[in-house]
Structure 1
Amino acid sequence: MAFNVQTFKTRALTAVVFAVVMLAGLFLNQWSFFILFSIIHVGCWLEYQKLLGLIDADYQQINPFHKYGVILLGWGFMLWMASAQWQIGSITLHEGGWWLLLIMAIVLPITEVLFSKQFQLKNIGYSLLGLAYVSLSWGFMIDLYSMGASYAGVLSGANIGWLFPVILIASIWINDTMAYIVGSFIGKTPFSSISPKKTWEGTIGGAILAVATVTLVGYFVANLRDVQSLLVISGIAAVIGTAGDLLESKLKRMAGVKDSGSFMPGHGGFLDRFDSLLLATPFVWLYLKLFL
């Protein structure tokens, strides 16, 4: 394929803007972090609903209360997972999340009965899967920030809640990059029919290099002495993150589309960018809850 200068410029500019927005959201403070993942939450949900509508036409018939109410319910879970550091006056996001969850748990079933043209349990099942796939992950991401703030505070007296999210995100980015590079040079054995471009050589090479890079940089550069957590988080990112990529590729194949969306020209949609993180986040959260 001939090199297209305009396409390259579009992809490069999009990547730079994306990186700036992500870095600002991750590092400014807890509010920028919450706003960033709230936006990502909505974007992922809308694309998930679009893909489901392409896979099963019946899901296109859900009423607006269902469509946006379930997104609001998921956002309520994110609020509920927020710790006391997210506080406006005397009100915490956690308290607001509890009330939002309660209200939506009452309102959604009523609106489903009253306003749905055709009540179908499978559509409710699809939305419940979306809550597990999208909202659960981003709720846990908010709690990862709280864990990082507590953990870092013990070590340095500073609030660097981005610690665990950044380790996880960096691990996924390095794994994806290294898998692509290794696969480009020595990849020969197809990894999965779902994603024909992936190879076993690239997948294994990317995982090894991601775990090694994150652990060595974390230990020698960032002065993080918890080698076990560095190894486990980067390992989860490599293995479960790859599974997340395949899961989203399967959804797109079933829907008959190349990209889940187009919010990033040349790079796809929210699910395309965060598919690996969606699946890896709950496993990292579970590890930290059990063993940190």
Structure 2
Amino acid sequence: MLTRIITGVVGMALAAFVIMQGDWLYAVCAILLSFAAWYEYVSAFEHVGKPLARLVGFVVISLFGTAAWLWGSAWLVAIATLAVLLVFAEAVFRHRRFAVDQVCFSLAGIFYVGFCFAHLILLRFAAQDVVLATPVGDMTLGCAFLWIMFLGTWSSDTFAYFAGSFFGSRRLCPEISPKKTVEGFLGGLVGTTAVVAALGGALGFSVPLMAFLGVLLACAATVGDLAESLIKRYAGVKDSGRFFPGHGGVLDRFDSVMFTAPFVYYFIQVVGLAGV
């Protein structure tokens, strides 16, 4: 428990510093985390005798991160196309040891890790020209919504845990995650909606609009958590790794964030907040 607490405190302090610094430090840290996540994903499938396109994954995921940082989101489609070509090329040249199901698992993982972490970068650098005055100082709109995404996601996990612990009785998805309950999900939904609405209101945004974002965040966070649990259950592993002492691997800690980051990024695009 002490190790878990120390890791949590140190991790949050480092995360806050990196987020606020932004620039190359944030982008490089996000790309390195995506490398760790891909390594964990590949290792999980190797555990069940399904070696994946490890090297191709590292190359493509690095390109996803670089594009999100320097070239823009339009490049993600081109890189996704490259990923398909490279993985199938590997299957052709290694057809005796690299079957079609491994192609599918490889592409799923490359897009799962690469796209999601790319959106963590895209969100941080969104609307750099829009600066908001916040209680903790001025920050760009992208940085502010990155914090809303993180705080909303953490709220979803926290409220769901306590609501499930005290009131949980009906299993939400017992085949994938036996401990998750309907009551826990509803608690997370209410808590996340309240937190995101309050944060948005404090920044001067429409409270109903931000409450709607909170609902989306809670749903996306839950699906993200269950998606990673599905992978671990298939692979027969308890944790994705040991990157964070006492907390498991990168996928264990970022499973929900990997789904909520794209939701928030496209939310601010669709509702026009990126142009305020």
Specify the TM-score bucket, using the shorter chain as the normaliser: 0.7 to 0.9
> 1:35-92 deviations in whole A, cap 9, x for unaligned?
221121111111111112224x1x22x5xxx31222221220221122xxx5xxxxx6
Secondary structure class of the residue paired with 2:238: coil
The answer as to 2:253 corresponding to 1:273 is yes
The one-letter amino acid of 2:55's match is Y
Distance 1:247 1:96 in 2: 26
> Cα RMSD between the aligned structures?
3.1
Secondary structure class of the residue paired with 1:188: coil
The one-letter amino acid of 1:80's match is A
Match of 1:4?
Answer: none
Distance 1:163-1:118 versus aligned 2 partners, 3 A rule: same
Deviation at 1:28, TM superposition (A): 1.3
Aligned length: 269
The one-letter amino acid of 2:116's match is S
- Are the equivalent residues in 2 in contact too, given 1:167–1:234 (CA < 8 A)? no
Structure 2 residue runs of 5 or longer lacking an equivalent are none
Distance 2:229 2:82 in 1: 35
The one-letter amino acid of 2:113's match is V
The answer as to 2:202 corresponding to 1:209 is no
Normalising by structure 1, we get a TM-score of 0.80
Larger radius of gyration: 1
Distance 1:52-1:107 versus aligned 2 partners, 3 A rule: closer
**Identical residues among aligned pairs (%):** 28
Distance 1:195-1:111 versus aligned 2 partners, 3 A rule: closer
Match of 1:31?
Answer: 24
Matches within 5 A, 1:46-57: 46-55=39-48, 57=49
Q: 1:73 pairs with 39, 45, 60, which one?
A: 60
Match of 1:230?
Answer: 210
Match of 1:127?
Answer: 106
Match of 1:145?
Answer: 124
> 1:117-163 deviations in whole A, cap 9, x for unaligned?
52422222212111221111111222212224244369998545311
Matches within 5 A, 1:1-292: 8-55=1-48, 57=49, 59-60=50-51, 62=52, 66-82=53-69, 86=70, 113-114=92-93, 118-152=97-131, 159=140, 161-193=142-174, 194-220=176-202, 223-292=203-272
- Are the equivalent residues in 2 in contact too, given 1:237–1:277 (CA < 8 A)? no
Secondary structure class of the residue paired with 1:225: coil
Distance 2:73 2:182 in 1: 43
Structure 1 residue runs of 5 or longer lacking an equivalent are 1-7, 87-91
